[in-house]
């Protein structure tokens, strides 16, 4: 009886998650993106994040650097800054290091 109860409860909870469309936690997505970046970097397909930062940070001396994220689909890094109370994003092609987008 106890096993049946646990099994039924588990089924109900899984069903509820499926209906509500519970999303993957951001931290899990971030780890996956980092793993993708490492894999692509080791294969020689993209530049290291430190190389990208070395190119971009000197151009943004008037802003505070907050960090970056890697987008495996676009093969691009998004560097995040704050300047005068506003968030600024710089999108960089991970293969070439070329700036491909900027928000002001």
- Percent of the chain whose pLDDT exceeds 90: 56
Residue 5 CA to residue 9 CA, distance in Å, equals: 6
Residue 7 CA to residue 45 CA, distance in Å, equals: 46
Q: Is 89's pLDDT higher than 80? A: yes
Residue 82 CA to residue 89 CA, distance in Å, equals: 9
Q: Is 83's pLDDT higher than 60? A: yes
Model pTM score: 0.66
Count other Cβ atoms within 10 Å, centred on residue 94: 25
47 phi/psi in degrees, rounded to 5: -80, 155
pLDDT at res. 43: 85
pLDDT at res. 64: 97
**Among 9-13, 43-47, 79-83, 87-91, which is the least confidently predicted range?**
9-13
């Amino acid at each position: 009886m106890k096993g049946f109860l646990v099994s039924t409860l588990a089924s109900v909870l899984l069903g509820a998650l499926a209906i509500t469309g519970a999303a993957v936690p951001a931290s899990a997505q971030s780890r996956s993106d980092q793993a993708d970046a490492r894999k692509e970097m080791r294969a020689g397909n993209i530049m290291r994040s430190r190389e990208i930062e070395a190119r971009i940070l000197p151009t943004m001396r008037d802003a505070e650097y907050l960090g970056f994220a890697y987008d495996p689909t676009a093969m691009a890094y998004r560097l995040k800054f704050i300047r005068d109370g506003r968030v600024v994003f710089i999108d960089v092609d991970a293969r070439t290091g070329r700036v491909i987008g900027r928000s002001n």
